[in-house]
Chain A
Amino acid sequence: MVRVKIWGSLRPLADGQSEIELEARTFKEVLDQLGARYPALRPQIKRGVSMALNGRIYREAWFTKIPPESEVVLMPYMAGG
């Protein structure tokens, strides 16, 4: 069981929740389950989301393993200059 924190403007698309509990072992499972449970999140997931796992940002890596008790935070996909 992981608790996934989502950012403020996604909350209305996820029944107003700021944290969502999921059974997910990888980043991809997080994305798949979020999209399945809250179809309104799919456009943003398609545009790009990154995952901060225990403070470290993973931009794309689907198979990043999520250990139990991890802090999982969704972030918009970002690029620098």
Chain B
Amino acid sequence: MADPMRIRAQASGGNVTVRVLMAHEMETGQRKDASGKVIPAWFIQEVSAALNGKAVLTAEWGPAVSKNPFMQFTVKGAKAGDKIAITWKDNHGDTRTDEATVS
């Protein structure tokens, strides 16, 4: 199972800045292993964010997003105590959701 994300959500002036780190290989499908075999692509394709259960953002990623991805965005009209949930899904169909409370 995939490791948990690290989500930091900080309120400032009516907005909330969200910083997310995800544990993922983000394998491009272009690299070869020691025996010369192509390492199959394995990467997060879809990312979504929800504020208190209501969707606020979706994103689509290719394999050129760096390993152990970082993402930062700003949610409007949110405040301390609100819940931010992030979900990712990779090209193998694996998925993970984590939640953080805005501070």
Partners in one complex: no
Q: Which residues of A contact B (CB under 8 A)?
A: none
